[in-house]
Amino acid sequence: MDNTEIISSLAAKIYPRLVAVRRQLHKYPELSGQEKNTAALICSVLDEWNIPYKAGIGGYGVVALIEGKSPGACVALRADMDALSIQEQNLCDYKSMVDGVMHACGHDAHVASLLGSAFILDYLKNTFDGTFKLVFQPSEETFPGGAIKMIQDGVLDYPKVNAMIGQHVLPGLPTGSIGLKSGPYMASTDEIYITVTGRGGHGATPELNIDPVVIASQIIVALQQITSRAANPSIPTVLSFGRMIADGRTNVIPDSVTMEGTIRTFDENWRAEAHQKIVSIAKGIAEGFGAQCTVDIHHGYPFLINDEKTTRIARLAAVEFLGADKVSDLPLRMTAEDFAYYAQNVPAVFYRLGITNPLTNAPSANLHTSGFDIDENSLITGSSCMAFIALKTMSDLNESEI
């Protein structure tokens, strides 16, 4: 029996346990920085399997080590742990029991899959040289992100990580398959907070007011020209505002209006230039109408670049393990991930795991929505394919060092 068959058999064996872990996490989700019980569950499973680990890394992060039969390279595998501030609308038995909190981004599936990979790699530890580092990361959903905190706590050292692998669920991609993209893959992300302060008053006497509602509206429209006219068309850029608060009434103009949005792109020089344009346009419009304006831009995650060699190894491994028809090429995504911090420091690949049942015609709810869920059969692929990719990556690294 070769490794492919062994890994597939182990994934099938551990599958019921992974479903149970995933459902426990889904039922009791925890927000960024609050993943105490999530970490405890991870540790309890690792204890059961006698896999050594350290907890409390970068917050509630957990890092486990699986050492092979002799020294070699170190390959890290990462899963994020935190949930989102969303009220779940699903009616499943494992529906969130925490009001206003939900695993709407699949991090429960990421944790369960990585535990499955740990089980498989631990079983095979006498067949490879080197060390696998299993990284269970907190706080991916909230700036500054758990990745940077774990890096500061030495997650990429002791032993030094030579390559890193991450996976993330993707609605619409069929269960049993994965998708990859080499090179730039996910955008940088920054949060924009703008406050326009004018002079409120009665809606029937606008001449006595400095209307911050109208001014804020003009600012939002004008800022769209940054992406449509100022941005180089070859650099994907998105500028969106999702929150605008003008706390007046039908006949009361408020003194101030606040706006919150995001800008995402794939070039650091343009990113900095766009920030300056946001400030100058917003302030210029406000001042032109006699109002004041403050602009606060929170610098978020960098854009994510998949290392070409590491991605090629992962792709070849996935084709060998799943079949060529189960491996897709992915386009750029304007969403963001703090896995990008790892990719800035070590060769890394971040790929997508299919979670949509190919036998049904029901559309998949998108990530970050109240109806999001997964086909739990994807946990088999999530654990087994990740383990296989990790082994192939380890083998290549060890051969390269000879």
| Catalytic (active site) residue 30 | no
Q: What is the C-alpha R_g of the chain?
A: 24
- Among residues 88, 140, 307, 338, which one is catalytic? 140
Amino acid at 310: T
Taking CA atoms, 247 is separated from 189, 243, 253, in Å, by 28, 12, 8
DSSP state of 230: I
3-state SS string over 79-101?
EECCCECCCCCCCCCCCCCCCCC
Please name the helix (run of DSSP H) or strand (run of DSSP E) that holds residue 65, with its range, or none: strand 61-67
Cβ atoms of 33 and 110 within 8 Å: the answer is: no
Amino acid at 122: D
Cβ atoms of 196 and 220 within 8 Å: the answer is: no
Report the C-alpha gap between 132 and 76 in whole angstroms.
Answer: 6
Report the C-alpha gap between 68 and 57 in whole angstroms.
Answer: 23
Report the C-alpha gap between 94 and 28 in whole angstroms.
Answer: 9
| Catalytic (active site) residue 401 | no
Amino acid at 102: M
Q: Which residues of 213-223 are buried (b: 16+ CB within 10 A; e: fewer)?
A: bbbbbbbbeeb
Tell me which residue of 381, 384, 374 sits closest to 119, measured CA to CA: 384
Taking CA atoms, 271 is separated from 95, 294, 298, in Å, by 39, 19, 12
Cβ atoms of 112 and 98 within 8 Å: the answer is: no
Residue where the block lists tokens 């899963």: 79
3-class DSSP assignment, residue 312 = helix
The per-residue DSSP string of 241-300 comes to EEEEE---BTTEE-SEEEEEEEEEES-HHHHHHHHHHHHHHHHHHHHHTT-EEEEEEEE-
**Torsion of Cα atoms, 265 then 269 then 273 then 275, to 10°:** 50
DSSP state of 369: S
- Among residues 30, 82, 375, 376, which one is catalytic? 82
Which amino acids are annotated catalytic?
82, 140
